[in-house]
Amino acid sequence: MKRLVLLMALMLAGSSAAMADTLQLLTWKGYAPKELVDKFQAETGIKVEVTYSNNEEMIAKLRATRGAGFDLAQPSQDRISSVQEEFGIYQPIDYSKIQAELFIPSMLEAVKKNTLVGGASYAVPFCWGTSGLVVNAAQAKDATSWKALIDPQYKGRISYRLKRPVLIGLGFAMGYDPFALYADEKAYGEMLAKIEAELIKAKPLVKNYWANGDQLLESVRSGEVTVAEAWDNGGWKLHDENKDLDFVAPVEGALGWIDTFTIPAKAKNVEAAYKWINFMLKPENSGYFTSAEKTPTASKDAAPFVDKAFQANFDRSFPQAVIDNIKWYPPVPAKLEAMEGKVLDKVKAAN
């Protein structure tokens, strides 16, 4: 009997040790390159188990478990404060465990401010980028506005996600300032109703509503799609293959996002989470990530480690005037996000 009890104790201890040596990461595809995962494990002895997701799925998973099941998640900074206020699925960041000298100071402070709930902040920045248009200039050289997504001259060659960027982008294109309307639920609803009508009217123009980024790139690459709503790095990947294909910041402004690191409320390996955050923001690791994924990070000193081809893409797409015109996402109120979801569902269901 004593031997059985001892064996069970050893098994439990081994199980706990295994959990302590594993980081459960909930993130976007591409945010945990195998080379960096392997390097992290070699340096720390901590195994990284990656689950790929997106904003909506991350929130749903963590709501379902009340913040359990993962040690680290990477939602966009505008999707944190309202969710935290309502569901409490994250824990405050202990900034004493963050190597602040690794970060671009203004970006770190902005994310602290934008994720502040009840006197505590819930995230640190990881990477950033924009949504705009990916265009085949040989076939759609005049596609420079968000309105290209509802323009009849591109019938059958348009693609976008049925997600909030298309609503926000068209809102700006139709003369609204969607972010300024966040404080006026009625006015925001009126804007959404007009955008909904336009999207349903233009539905016959759409080749497809993309959900998988790789599938979108292939449809642009093949010529099936000539105008798409997409991220800048997708356009740059295509441009490396075909100079007619490129990211275009709409004249109304590209939509700027920051993806973060957050620690779920019931994370079991918090120390490993902080180690991964600091590891990923080291200049050489951030530089590798940026070169591989064509996405800039919040790392202050990564530039010397970034591939020159990426810098050329960035400089071509983002002269200073275009950077100044980026519309950065502020935290979105939960009620407005629910309203957007209903509009998108109606567009999807419309005949």
Residue 124 CA to its chain's centroid (Å) = 14
- The reported pLDDT for the residue numbered 334 is 84
pLDDT in tens, 6-63: 444 444 444 444 445 999 999 999 999 999 999 999 999 999 999 999 999 999 999 9
In this structure, the answer to whether residues 213 and 154 fall within a common structural domain is yes
Element (H, E) at 298: none
Angle at 297 between CA 296 and CA 298, to 5 degrees: 140
In this structure, the answer to whether residues 79 and 39 fall within a common structural domain is yes
In this structure, the answer to whether residues 314 and 229 fall within a common structural domain is no
- The reported pLDDT for the residue numbered 300 is 93
In this structure, the answer to whether residues 231 and 340 fall within a common structural domain is yes
- The reported pLDDT for the residue numbered 2 is 47
Tell me the Ramachandran region of residue 175: left when phi exceeds 0, alpha when psi lies from -120 to 50, beta otherwise.
Answer: left
Under 8 Å between Cβ of 305 and 288: yes
In this structure, the answer to whether residues 9 and 121 fall within a common structural domain is yes
Look at strands 245-248 and 124-136 and give their pairing: antiparallel
Confidence (pTM): 0.84
In this structure, the answer to whether residues 163 and 248 fall within a common structural domain is yes
Q: 3-class SS at 230?
A: strand
Q: Which two three-digit tokens encode residue 281?
A: 């923001």
Which residue positions in the chain have pLDDT lower than 70? 1-20
In this structure, the answer to whether residues 250 and 312 fall within a common structural domain is no
Q: 3-class SS at 26?
A: strand
In this structure, the answer to whether residues 27 and 100 fall within a common structural domain is yes
In this structure, the answer to whether residues 213 and 159 fall within a common structural domain is yes
Residue 34, domain extent: 2-128+257-324
In this structure, the answer to whether residues 245 and 307 fall within a common structural domain is no
In this structure, the answer to whether residues 177 and 294 fall within a common structural domain is no
Q: Residue 235 belongs to a domain with what CATH number?
A: 3.40.190.10
In this structure, the answer to whether residues 86 and 196 fall within a common structural domain is no
- The reported pLDDT for the residue numbered 20 is 58
- The reported pLDDT for the residue numbered 9 is 43
- The reported pLDDT for the residue numbered 6 is 43
Number of domains in the chain: 2
Amino acid identity of residue 128, one-letter, is W
Q: Which two three-digit tokens encode residue 116?
A: 């502040």
